[in-house]
Amino acid sequence: MDKDAGSMERIFNYGAGAIVTKSIGLNPREGYPNPTVVELEFGILNAMGLPNPSIEKFGDEIKKLKKFNIPIIGSIFGSNSKEFTELAKKMETFGVTAIELNMSCPHAKGYGLEIGSDPKLVKEITYNVKESTSIPVFVKISPNLPSVTEIAKSAESGNADGIVAINTVKAMKIDLDLKIPVLSNKVGGYSGKAIKPIGVRCVYEISQNVDIPVIGVGGITTGEDALEYIMAGASAIQIGSGIYYRGLDIFKKICDELEIWMKDHGHKNLSELIGVAHI
């Protein structure tokens, strides 16, 4: 996941099948003051505050990538249905392949969980975006919900083309010497290896309750991690913090590991493994 043309092209050249941008809003945002990121024993805690250059300036980055024929999924965030719709229209105009509606940031007040935890609002926003665009629309949901399936079904009823699960887990770190939260925003989103079991569980539950594809996200660093998500019901996966753990060539490494596992276990097509763990 990234937001400038150079880094997106570089990641694609390392073997990614598509690129998901950082979430973009209508207006520029500086994000929260430092510290915004802290590495923990089993993952990464961050509260960036959705920093971005604005949708108008971001269009220039997307246009630079057109000549490379790179599939781009434009991630957007907004405070209401009107903003999401306007952003989606602009993303489509810029030439993205699909749109991801980020309704699940755990630390951006007014843009994240306040929206993504309301089934009616999720359905309304998804429906309005779908009505105003002609490209696939995915809804990224949070694990910080009483029922991930309820929100996923709301997105599906709004005509979403797919569900992205999950976003980061709401978390905190305390500095024992200073006796205060480490992050300037106090609360952040936890990502990395530690959240994989949560992501797998969410994908498992969601894929049993919707008829649209599910994209698995969270703590994927190896081919075996990817297989867990696929067997849980994911049709595709996203990799974010895995780049931190294994470098930019993680995409090729995971593809190689998947190929070896499938050959060793007598499978020829990855699609035949989607949801096989459902019992």
Q: Tokens representing 135? A: 């490209």
Which sequence positions are flagged as catalytic? 105
Q: Tokens representing 19? A: 């690129």
Q: Tokens representing 118? A: 């309301």
DSSP secondary structure of 29-41: B--PPSP-EEE-S
Mean pLDDT of the chain: 94
pLDDT given for residue 1 in this prediction: 45
Q: Tokens representing 261? A: 């596992």
**Structural domain boundaries enclosing 86:** 5-273
Asked, for residue 150, whether it belongs to a domain, the answer is: yes
With a pLDDT cut of 90, the percent of the chain lying above it is: 85
Asked, for residue 67, whether it belongs to a domain, the answer is: yes
- Is pLDDT at 109 greater than 80 in this prediction? no
pLDDT digits (tens, 9 = 90+) for 231-251: 999 999 999 999 999 999 999
Q: Tokens representing 136? A: 């696939």
Please name the helix (run of DSSP H) or strand (run of DSSP E) that holds residue 99, with its range, or none: strand 98-102
* Strand 37-39 relative to strand 44-46, pairing: antiparallel
Cβ atoms of 214 and 241 within 8 Å: the answer is no
Give me the number of domains the chain comprises.
1
With a pLDDT cut of 70, the percent of the chain lying above it is: 98
Burial 190-224 (b: 16+ CB within 10 A, else e): bbbbbbbebbbebbbbbbeebebbbbbbbbbbbbe
- Is pLDDT at 166 greater than 80 in this prediction? yes
- Work out the burial of residue 166: count CB atoms within 10 Å of its CB; fewer than 13 is exposed, 13-18 middle, 19 or more buried: buried
pLDDT given for residue 106 in this prediction: 81
Asked, for residue 261, whether it belongs to a domain, the answer is: yes
pLDDT digits (tens, 9 = 90+) for 33-48: 999 999 999 999 999 9
Q: What's the mean pLDDT in 190-202?
A: 97
Is the entire prediction scored with pTM above 0.85?
yes
Which CATH number fits the domain that encloses residue 163? 3.20.20.70
Cβ atoms of 42 and 96 within 8 Å: the answer is no
pLDDT given for residue 192 in this prediction: 96
d(CA 215, CA 213) in angstroms, rounded, equals 7
- Is pLDDT at 62 greater than 90 in this prediction? no
Asked, for residue 212, whether it belongs to a domain, the answer is: yes
Cβ atoms of 76 and 108 within 8 Å: the answer is no
Asked, for residue 29, whether it belongs to a domain, the answer is: yes
Strands, E assignment, 173-260: 174-175, 180-181, 188-191, 214-217, 236-238
pLDDT digits (tens, 9 = 90+) for 2-33: 447 888 888 888 989 999 999 999 999 999 99
Asked, for residue 278, whether it belongs to a domain, the answer is: no
Cβ atoms of 217 and 191 within 8 Å: the answer is no
Nearest to 70 by CA among 144, 6, 17, 116: 17
Asked, for residue 157, whether it belongs to a domain, the answer is: yes
pLDDT given for residue 87 in this prediction: 97
Asked, for residue 38, whether it belongs to a domain, the answer is: yes
pLDDT given for residue 213 in this prediction: 98
DSSP secondary structure of 116-185: HT-HHHHHHHHHHHHHH-SS-EEEEE-SSSS-HHHHHHHHHHTT-SEEEE--PEEE--EETTTTEESSTT
